Structure 1
Amino acid sequence: MLAVSVAAFVASLATCLGLIAIAPKLAFQKAALADTRARQASHVRPTPRVGGLSLAAAALAFLALFERGGFSDPSGLILVSALPIFLVGLKEDVSRNASPKVRYGAAILSALLAFWLLGLWIDRAAPFWLTAMLAFAPVGVAITVFTTASYAHAFNLIDGLNGLCAGTSVLISAGLIAVAMQSGQDGLVPLLLMMIGGLAGFLVWNFPAGKIFLGDAGAYTIGHVLSWIGVALIANSTQVSAWAIMLIFFWPLADTLFAIARRVGSGESIDTPDRMHFHQLVMRVLQLTILGRNRRELANPLATLALMPLIGGTVALGVVFWNDSRAAVLGLIGCGAAFVLGHARLRRLARRYRKPGTVEALKSKERKTAEKPVEKAA
């Protein structure tokens, strides 16, 4: 099975190299320059956001060399179902004119297509009354479609630092492999090995230097594929706990839910970008306390390194409790509480070390100056 990862790695690595080489000559380079000025930007140099194409190359290599079942096999069907969100995401990466609603609609379309092709949904979860509700197909399918589409969007939200989304996805893929092997579902392992190989080839160029980003096509597609592998693991084995799979996916889930709660609480639209994601706070605190305010290029990959053990810890808990719903729920509660407390602590640190010379303070001073009436000369 190692050959699957090697082939995906080579295909992804070579594709990224080609994209980086031709990026300065392409029209989307202007849009990449605009990304560095965005409110939530974590980078200082314009960089192509078409890394999703490297994963597409890895998937094509996988289908051509190893997927003998073709498009009748679950792995092939999951990849086919990702086409709507991949294409809409790629449109956004190149032209920047696909709104969040359009992208989320494409994620729902891909989820519906996956359900239609696979005939699977999350049909049980402890306690028993939840299983009874999910077993009723209209309810179970609706919840599954909403959940997987939301996970696809969640992976896009954590694509903010060099290596963060791809590194998180490698850890989640490894966790799903462990659950697949423990539950006797080895047929899904090659697809997960392809994901790891393709992501590894991309990471060579994305971490630590950030020469290319996943973009919406890459992040949404990763979220879709991995979440539907999770659905398949739950649906095909009565041993696999849905809560344990959720624990494996904890980090993108927690970041998204907390972002929604934060924006609703402040009276903003839930799709309003901000700079308060957990990873952004970690990077800011590193700058303010250790590295220096102008060291964003160094703080960016270091923040990812700081987060990887935390993300890996939640994945490990999901693997350990793969068939124990009660323990998995307790793990989710504990990790959720730690996430919220950690976020609050980081906010306090950022506020404590912030000085009047920060960008926010300067902007506030400029606004106050602009509001003062201009005195006429005597």
Structure 2
Amino acid sequence: MSVLLISFLFSFILNLWLVRYSYLHARFSADSDLTGIQKFHTIAVPRVGGAAILLAIFLALWVRYFQSPDVGLFGLLLILSSLPAVIAGLTEDITKKVGIRIRLMATILAAGLAGYMLNAWLGSVQILGIDNLMITYPILAIAITCFAVGGVANAFNIIDGYNGLSAVVAIMILLGIAYVAFKVGDHQIMIASFAMIGALFGFLFWNYPRGLIFLGDGGAYLVGFWIAELSVLLTTRHPEVSKWFPLLLCAYPIFETLFTIYRRLILKRVHPGMPDASHLHQLVYKRVVRWSVGTNFNYLKVQRNALTAPYLWMLCLLAVIPALLFWQNHVLLKIFTAIFALIYCWIYWAIVRYKFPEFLIISNADKDSE
């Protein structure tokens, strides 16, 4: 647990510094666009929390290297391989000029580096027909691995819309990975999971509920990449862990991404990279959390922002719990993945048509009327 505490303390202090002295770097780091279609904050906020998280896990794993060289080296190589994705994300955070295609390619490059340095290649996906092709054509296995890692990293960037949302989802998923890594005796993966968990808790202290600092693209890509690579390594090293365990574990961010592509490409007939305000978390914010905006506009909007994430945390748990219960049974994992997809679609349909139960609505209208 020492790596968790060390990464937490470093992340807490580094994020505190970024928040306390934001005026020194706000010209470059602050998200000053308060009117964008996907913007729901009221003041300019630093979006470089990912840099603090990266440095925190590096320092924690560097300290760990002197205690357990094999564990520390594993984590440091994972950090090294993540740099293309993190740098591309941080460059976008600072310049606002790095397109989604370049960031996705950088993440795929990072996956290739991790595959080369850590032998992190998927050997199968437990889908009839595809597994045989992956064995026959190793280049296909490499391509599927890179595509999967890039997709998961991008998925965490997509759900990073409200205070605490993606960070808490990531913590729940990482706890699941750490639990199964402990069950199969893989201390490298378990320690790497705890390093990120500690760093995310240090970040959350300043991010939730007030939103004093954001993950930014750099942080979202780092977190998504970290989870994706640990998932690949866990299932590759330990055949008893079903390939569908991490898929169900990450079902919420993954399905949010797939549904977004479907919505934009098929329903709206626009480029899938075109931003919109129709993500599930945005619909929850606009239609379920009906927090009035009165005289103290900024305060109430921050409250409304913070009240949105718990709905999606509960949705994520619907996938995390069965994944942990049946991490060895690929048939049950596939069934629960299908069930989660149906639940997601039903929730989305219900919110769009205002058919959701009234007890789920949070409103301060009664308080305002007093």
TM-score of the alignment, normalized to the shorter chain, above 0.5: yes
Q: CA deviation at 1:70?
A: 6.5
Structure 1: 5+ residue stretches without partners: 354-378
CA contact (8 A) 2:48 2:216 kept: yes
1:199-238 matches, within 5 Å, as 199-238=200-239
Q: For residues 287 and 145 of structure 2, what CA distance do their matches in structure 1 show?
A: 37
Normalising by structure 2, report the TM-score: 0.90
The answer to whether 1:336 aligns with 2:338 is no
Q: CA deviation at 1:9?
A: 0.4
Q: CA deviation at 1:350?
A: 9.3
Q: For residues 317 and 41 of structure 1, what CA distance do their matches in structure 2 show?
A: 33
Normalising by structure 1, report the TM-score: 0.88
Residue 89 (structure 2) aligns with: 89
Runs of 4+ in 1 over 4 A off after TM superposition: none
Residue 187 (structure 1) aligns with: 188
1:288-367 matches, within 5 Å, as 288=290, 291-292=291-292, 295-349=300-354
Q: For residues 29 and 315 of structure 2, what CA distance do their matches in structure 1 show?
A: 36
Q: For residues 103 and 81 of structure 2, what CA distance do their matches in structure 1 show?
A: 15
Q: CA deviation at 1:331?
A: 0.5
CA contact (8 A) 1:244 1:323 kept: yes
Secondary structure at 1:66 match in 2: helix
Q: For residues 88 and 240 of structure 2, what CA distance do their matches in structure 1 show?
A: 36
Q: Kindly, what percent of the aligned residue pairs are identical?
A: 29
Q: CA deviation at 1:259?
A: 0.5
Q: CA deviation at 1:186?
A: 2.5
CA contact (8 A) 1:286 1:299 kept: no
Q: For residues 298 and 252 of structure 1, what CA distance do their matches in structure 2 show?
A: 24
Q: Deviations over 1:310-337 (max 9, x none)?
A: 2123112111111100000001000001
CA contact (8 A) 2:7 2:60 kept: yes
Residue 367 (structure 2) aligns with: none
Q: CA deviation at 1:60?
A: 1.9
- Aligned partner (choices 272, 275, 292) of residue 273 of structure 1: 275
Q: CA deviation at 1:183?
A: 2.3
Residue 107 (structure 1) aligns with: 107
Residue 167 (structure 2) aligns with: 166
Q: CA deviation at 1:171?
A: 0.3
Q: CA deviation at 1:77?
A: 1.7
Q: Deviations over 1:163-216 (max 9, x none)?
A: 001101100100101111222323211111111100000000000000000001
Q: CA deviation at 1:249?
A: 0.8
**Which residue type is aligned with residue 216 of structure 1?**
D
1:109-128 matches, within 5 Å, as 109-128=109-128
CA contact (8 A) 2:289 2:307 kept: no
Q: For residues 158 and 340 of structure 1, what CA distance do their matches in structure 2 show?
A: 16
Q: Deviations over 1:16-68 (max 9, x none)?
A: 1111122123253685212x211111212210100001211212222321024
CA contact (8 A) 2:184 2:238 kept: yes
1:233-252 matches, within 5 Å, as 233-252=234-253
Residue 63 (structure 1) aligns with: 61
Residue 18 (structure 2) aligns with: 19
Would the alpha carbon gap of residues 261 and 200 (structure 1) be closer, same or farther in structure 2, given more than 3 Å must change? same
Secondary structure at 2:212 match in 1: coil
**Which residue type is aligned with residue 62 of structure 2?**
A
The answer to whether 1:285 aligns with 2:287 is yes
CA contact (8 A) 1:32 1:46 kept: yes
CA contact (8 A) 2:29 2:48 kept: no
CA contact (8 A) 1:63 1:70 kept: no
Q: For residues 278 and 72 of structure 2, what CA distance do their matches in structure 1 show?
A: 43
Q: CA deviation at 1:106?
A: 0.7
**Which residue type is aligned with residue 217 of structure 1?**
G
Would the alpha carbon gap of residues 71 and 191 (structure 1) be closer, same or farther in structure 2, given more than 3 Å must change? closer
- Report the structure number with the largest CA radius of gyration: 1
RMSD: 2.0
Q: For residues 112 and 289 of structure 2, what CA distance do their matches in structure 1 show?
A: 43
Secondary structure at 1:123 match in 2: coil
Q: CA deviation at 1:125?
A: 2.8
Would the alpha carbon gap of residues 285 and 108 (structure 1) be closer, same or farther in structure 2, given more than 3 Å must change? same
**Which residue type is aligned with residue 42 of structure 1?**
F
**Which residue type is aligned with residue 245 of structure 2?**
A
Q: For residues 190 and 336 of structure 2, what CA distance do their matches in structure 1 show?
A: 25
Structure 2: 5+ residue stretches without partners: 295-299, 359-370
Aligned length: 348
CA contact (8 A) 1:241 1:324 kept: yes
Residue 297 (structure 2) aligns with: none
Q: CA deviation at 1:222?
A: 0.7
Residue 131 (structure 2) aligns with: 131
Would the alpha carbon gap of residues 134 and 296 (structure 1) be closer, same or farther in structure 2, given more than 3 Å must change? farther
